[in-house]
Amino acid sequence: MFTELNSILNTTPDSFTQGDFILLSDRQSDASFLIHHFLSLYLRARCKVWFLGLVQSFNHYSAISQRLGVSLTQAKEKGQLVFLEGLNESLSVLIPREADTGSEAMGFLRDPAVGLKSLYEFVRTSATSSGGGEPEPEEWGPPVLLVDDLSVLLSLGASVGAVLDFSHYCRATVCSQLQGNVVMLARCDGEEEEEDGDDGGSERLLRGLTHQCSLTLHVQGLPTGYCRDIHGQVEVCWRRRRGDGRCTQKKLFQYKVHDKGASFFAPGTSSAVL
Amino acid sequence: MAAPVSTVGKPSTERSPFNTTSFQKKTRTKLISIPGTRPSVQNGQLLVSTGVTSLDYLLGGGLAVGTVLLIEEDRYDSYSRMILKYFLAEGVVCRHELFVAAAQDNPDDILQELPAPILDDVAIHKPVEQPRLSCEPQDSLDAMKIAWRYQNLPKVQSALASSSRFGHYYDVSKTMEPEIRQAAKCHCFYLPEHPTHTMLESYSALLKSLQEVINREGFDVAAPMTKSRNILRIGLHSLGSALWGDDLSCHDNPRNGHALTTFLYGLRALLRSSLSVAVVTVPSHLIQDRALMGSITRLCDNAIALESFKGSERETNPLYKDYHGLLHVRQVPHLNCLASKLPDHKDLAFKLKRKQFTIEPLHLFPFNMFVSVLNLSADDNEKSLTLVLPACFYYRVSKSKVKLY
């Protein structure tokens, strides 16, 4: 949990808006440090968290969360965290063996044209089963779904439409139905001005997701070039509905990632400069 | 996590018979000691050497076990192939196991071209020398009078010490001797030997073969500790080229653009759960789709791109006369930590010398070279001046002189 980011977003573990769809995106940069912030924030806020860790192993997230003061293994044991380790599950699908009966969450790898329904089913069954079913020993807060990251689904063959459908269904279930939050990371690689006619899949995904969300954090490199002390800039954009129209508020910050967190500051006020 | 250092048990250390004192360095029982590896100073990950010491420095000390290094090939695949051979030769010297897959050349041919290591204390197979006993009166000439404590040590350092070094040097003009090479266990995957019907099957056949080797030879982290642990070095040559059945490099809009990326995802899954490290070369200059190249890069942990000057106009450019090509670091991983160690310089150039592959920052344009180039074009009566200058100087060219700011 990055305290400076909390003050920028006006969130604390005790008070945060519910029903939010937060989009983390980056362009030729790496926004995964923000996922760790939200993971530790919601775990500290005693929310029930579902984490689809599709790109890294559990130990990676666990090691970083340890530095941020949260233990993922403990949260898993207590039932607060439900973790889908995409890498592990995918192996049983990619290299099929006869005696395998793993979870079908990554089943779309067999035939990506089918779509991401199996992944959504995983989310839905784990989300709704905890609602009904047997009484929970501990009372957790509102549910939160974190996805790291959506663009890898495009690399694995899913179409942009399927990924947008998946995010829409997740938002409908978690945000509207269960009054929880959804945080998704989408990565983009090209320059913004380029319009590759047929491709630009990740661009279309990013645009579609930006339309659906209520808060975006867009990470980019510095427009003036590479700097060792300032790792990039973050553009925070609130898209709130006020009556009929939408009220958007944008703020720009520069950031530097440390070993145990990240610091955010107004452009030009880096400690290396002042 | 790549190679969790603390979860694998450590084989008992053998007390070297050549210690002069009885003190033994106290090692934490949780650390494993596999020859040819060392823990990283940043986050304790297990690192192996790529065979090129300057590349090790660029990657933050070495290649982390459980990660993939992507090398974007240069145009004629000369230097990327060289780095792959360095990587495999380092595996032979450190007594790791090798897995080589290629579609173009037979992996055995690649293994026969490995460069010879420069070891002062030669071979791995030489029997360990026994320490000289002090009761040998005929060596009175050699008997030490001042440093008599070292009398018992052998004159030549044994092979035990050389294998514990991290990163070796190789002589490119000689090939590795067959005895040294055959000491290492190699698994080969030559695509024409595995006939497949569709394109997607060649990558899945490779993935399946990799998993078989990992499980059979015990590189799985979850496998029970029956014998001492070793590292599997995987070298995959020219993935994405047409010989693998992939049309990524042939068409602008490939039919199955996700075949290679799905393979890389499965490779990452295999590596994160085993004690292995992979180097993959991809002919990126043939892949037109930049976004696809971006997703390939993101699915690998480390990524560098080589751009050689061979055949281009830069070969004769006096600015680059000391170097063979440019090296771009596309990605450095940050596994198990938030911040990654980015290289200080972004302009890097490499040169392949006989005994070393050096990677250096491209030095600033020296002023006297600038003057000599100006004189050249003045003699040729050229009105226009085209120079490649690094962006650190501002300059203004007027009729009579050039001002540098």
pLDDT in tens, A48-57: 999 999 999 9
- Contacts of residue B299 in chain A, CB cutoff 8 Å? 152, 155
- Contacts of residue A112 in chain B, CB cutoff 8 Å? 258
- Position B52 confidence tier, pLDDT thresholds 50, 70, 90: very high
- Position B398 confidence tier, pLDDT thresholds 50, 70, 90: low
- Position B13 confidence tier, pLDDT thresholds 50, 70, 90: very low
Residue, of B242 and A96, whose pLDDT is higher: B242
pLDDT at B42: 78
Nearest CA to A247 among A234, A237, A257?
A237
Q: Do A259 and B1 touch (CB under 8 A)?
A: no
pLDDT at B201: 83
pLDDT at B377: 46
Across A173-187, B193-207, B310-324, which has the greatest mean pLDDT? A173-187
Average pLDDT for B204-223: 89
pLDDT at A131: 52
Average pLDDT for B244-273: 86
pLDDT at B365: 59
Separation in Å, CA B62 to CA B42, B45, B46, B346: 12, 10, 9, 18
pLDDT at B342: 77
Q: Which residue of A lies nearest to B335 if distances are taken between CA atoms?
A: A60
Query: For residue B361, is pLDDT > 80?
Result: yes
Q: Do B265 and A199 touch (CB under 8 A)?
A: no
Query: For residue B17, is pLDDT > 80?
Result: no
Query: For residue B228, is pLDDT > 90?
Result: no
pLDDT at A195: 53
Judge if ipTM > 0.85: yes
- Position B150 confidence tier, pLDDT thresholds 50, 70, 90: confident
pLDDT at B392: 47
Query: For residue B387, is pLDDT > 60?
Result: no
Average pLDDT for B315-330: 87
Of B1, B207, B337, the CB nearest to A94: B207
Query: For residue B12, is pLDDT > 70?
Result: no
Query: For residue B128, is pLDDT > 50?
Result: no
Mean pLDDT of the residues in chain B: 78
> Which residues, listed in sequence order, are joined to residue B395 by a DSSP beta bridge?
B404
pLDDT at A256: 92
Q: Does A103 touch chain B (CB under 8 A)?
A: no
Average pLDDT for B241-259: 81
pLDDT at A146: 94
Q: Do B291 and A90 touch (CB under 8 A)?
A: no
- Position A189 confidence tier, pLDDT thresholds 50, 70, 90: confident
Q: Which residue of B lies nearest to A108 if distances are taken between CA atoms?
A: B262
- Position B368 confidence tier, pLDDT thresholds 50, 70, 90: very low
Residue, of A110 and A32, whose pLDDT is higher: A32
pLDDT at B322: 84
Query: For residue B129, is pLDDT > 80?
Result: no
**Mutation site, A57, A110, A188, A202, interface B, largest B CB count within 10 A:** A57
Average pLDDT for B191-195: 86
Average pLDDT for A114-118: 81
Ranking A208-217, B52-61, B89-98, B220-229 by mean pLDDT, the lowest is: B220-229
Write a three-state SS string for chain A. CCHHHHHHHCCCCCCCCCCCEEEEEEECCCCHHHHHHHHHHHHHCCCEEEEEECCCCHHHHHHHHHHCCCCHHHHHHHCCEEEEEHHHHHHHHHCCCCCCCCCHHHHHHCCHHHCCHHHHHHHHHHHHHHHCCCCCCCCCCCEEEEEECCHHHHHCCCCHHHHHHHHHHHHHHHHHHCCCEEEEEEEECCCCCCCCCCCCHHHHHHHHHHHHCCEEEEEECCCCCCCCCCCEEEEEEEEEEECCEEEEEEEEEEEEECCCCEEEECCCCCCCCC
Torsion sign across C-alpha atoms B79, B335, B214, A103: negative
Residue, of B398 and B221, whose pLDDT is higher: B221
pLDDT at B311: 84
- Position A138 confidence tier, pLDDT thresholds 50, 70, 90: low
